[in-house]
Amino acid sequence: MPLILPALAELTDMEAVLHVADGIMLTGSASNVHSDLYGQPIRNPALPLDAARDATTLPLIRAAIKRGIPLLGICRGFQEINVALGGTLHQAVQELPGMMDHRDREDDSLDVQYGPAHPIYLTKGGKFAEMLGNPEEITVNSLHGQGIDQLAPGVTVEAVAHDGLVEAYTVDAAHGFTLAVQWHPEWHITENPDSMKMFLAFGNACREFQARRQERG
């Protein structure tokens, strides 16, 4: 059964959570990962932060990877995994020379905000490309101002946007399924074959992890 974990790190028995978790999905959020966590000052204090979520997810990520628990990071979750493993973020991608604006427009309808925005190009021979049947590119939505600057050690790029921004990666050292994507594949998932393949792979990994855990007792 799904369990929603509240951002209450100091009140949560993480060992108990990890003991019963067959997989962890890190969702998106309107808030940003605090830049203190990757050694930068805040560029725009007006943007929302969530220190409680940071304190919950970053240690959870490291522990989950160590235990081989399947991990899927979406949007903020994509950024959290990179920071948890020692990477850094651009706080305002749209202000960088040669980079496009990856943000959505707040006055658009949700269907427009979460609709197809731009193509991404998959790493040939990569794990993510193989998961989707080896397409050269797919089209994704785009609703983020932050993006990956320096990749964490041991992370492999699985897809990039046409401006070079990392859009998907896997973690080399992970003992189990670990995939992070910058877009929102959960939006109208049943209408998107690529999203369905991604969540099917994650679900299969969770079931396999559960079966191995039950065998161990």
CA-based nearest residue to 57, from 29, 81, 89 = 81
Q: Angle 76-84/51-67 helices, nearest 10 degrees?
A: 70
Q: Which residues contact 207 (CB under 8 A, 6 or more apart)?
A: 22
State which amino acid sits at residue 214.
Answer: Q
Decide: residue 210, CB within 10 A, 0-12 exposed, 13-18 middle, 19+ buried. middle
Residues linked to residue 166 through DSSP beta bridges, in sequence order: 160
Q: Which residues are catalytic?
A: 75, 184, 186
Distance CA 19, CA 22 (A): 9
Asked if residues 67 and 19 have their Cβ atoms less than 8 Å apart, the reply is: no
Asked if residues 80 and 146 have their Cβ atoms less than 8 Å apart, the reply is: no
